[in-house]
Amino acid sequence: MKHPYLKKAYDTLLLRTPHEPEFHQAVYEVLESLEHVVDDYPYVIKENIIERLLEPERVITFRVSWTNDQGDVEVNRGYRVQFNSAIGTFKGGLRFHPSVNLSILKFLAFEQTFKNALTTLPMGGAKGGSDFNPKGRSDQEIMRFCQAFMSELYHHIGEDIDVPAGDIGVGRREIGYLYGYYKKLKNQVSSVLTGKGTSYGGSYVRKEATGYGLVYFTNEALKTVYATDFKDKKVIISGSGNVAIYAAEKVIDLGGLVIGMSDSEGIIHDATGIDIKIIKEIKEVKRENIKTYLDTYPNATYQKNPKKLWEIICDVALPCATQNELDDKDVKHLIKNNVLMVSEGANMPLTKEAIDLLLENNILFGPAKAANAGGVLVSGLEISQNNQFYNYSYEKVDTILKDIMNKMFHDIYETARRYNEPNNLLCGANILSFKKIAKAMHEQGVT
């Protein structure tokens, strides 16, 4: 990082937050791109926009005490990071996972701020969650935990303040429990949570949105840069949650062949094309290890090491599992195998070294803040539908999702070209979103 103002802001951040590596990584990735524009707008330095942008507006931590099925009291820690509301209401998911800590949530909330700006909807960035692990818990335990979590969180959210959604470990079941208790505590029906069931205000396509949006964005990139699309392309997808499953479903719908998928235990490789219906049954119904895919398709292969996924020869790679799952060693396999594009379905699944290696080798890279924005985009549409007392059809939501993801790609693509970074979608996304956020912060004064 060469610009003295950006370097000073980053160095100050390191001193203030010495134990938050994920947050530092996300910030550095953005600031590196902003060297192109920081001098174009005098107010950025004069009003210290960058340092203000790097400090969350509000960080809330709280105790979550609840009772398990054995009658024992357990204690977890809850969080909500309300990062930036310059362009609208705080918006971002809740994550229930043992790895949750302040560094991860600050990086997610920071990224969410830029991602939401790219959707063109009036939403600021936030993220929250708990170190609670829903795996292996009964429905009753999950309900009691969600109610205990909401009994504190409800003080800090509202449809005109902060609208959470789901994330890892928080699906429709958890959102239902959280929403039901919020409604009881506030005696109010509202759009305060998104990802709800369609029977009580949820939007069609919400479950599929991140995965579908990822594929729409990637498909538009393939068409624009390589004059091709997903038809007959071999695709590998890490993870087997909502994002991965519905990305695979849409790839297959567009004529592609998903030949590799993974979970936290290992990978499956099926050269004839993975049957996504079986993956859905394994992961959404039975909640079993992906290895059981071989019970139905014995000719497929299984390897216990999830990293082996990146060694499979493919045209497109879609990492959809978790942060920093793909490093420079993994990317070397993809480059050797002539991958056309890597698009992030998870949040920051590539390390900085992995991203740099892709860009150095002119491999098209779809950054998460753009490529996986479909989920929050449809969440925004859910708020809109709630406020209108109306439900859009499945087809209408899917069409809006596709249109906005395609437009987002072209806006980012053209921004990168304008700043002499052709095909650098990361740079284009960072510049485009920053300009919108910085302008809003400038026009609202020092707050």
* Distance in angstroms between the alpha carbons of the first and the last residue of the chain: 27
- Coil, helix or strand for 242? helix
Could you count the other beta carbons within 10 Å of the beta carbon of residue 336?
Answer: 10
- Coil, helix or strand for 27? helix
State how far the Cα of 369 lies from the Cα of 355, in Å rounded to an integer: 14
Q: How far is CA 363 from CA 167, 187, 226, 355, 366, in A?
A: 29, 52, 11, 9, 10
- Coil, helix or strand for 21? helix
- Coil, helix or strand for 62? strand
What DSSP designation does 90 have? E
Q: Is 435 one of the annotated active-site residues of the chain?
A: no
Q: Tokens in use for 332?
A: 């070397």
List own/partner pairs for 182-187 with CB under 8 A and 24 or more apart: 182/150, 182/154, 182/157, 185/150, 185/151, 185/154, 186/154
Q: Tokens in use for 270?
A: 């099926």
* Cβ-Cβ contacts under 8 Å for 4 (sequence gap 6 or more): none
Strand 89-96, strand 123-130: pairing: parallel
State how far the Cα of 80 lies from the Cα of 58, in Å rounded to an integer: 8
* Cβ-Cβ contacts under 8 Å for 421 (sequence gap 6 or more): 36, 427, 428
Q: Does an H or E element contain 381, and which?
A: helix 374-388
- Coil, helix or strand for 391? coil
What DSSP designation does 207 have? T
Q: How far is CA 34 from CA 106, 179, 270, in A?
A: 20, 39, 42
Phi, psi of 282 (to 5 degrees): -65, -45
Which residue of the set 106, 115, 127, 369 is catalytic? 127
Give the CA-trace dihedral at 5, 29, 118, 90, to 10 degrees.
Answer: -80
State how far the Cα of 108 lies from the Cα of 120, in Å rounded to an integer: 19
Q: Which residues are catalytic?
A: 127
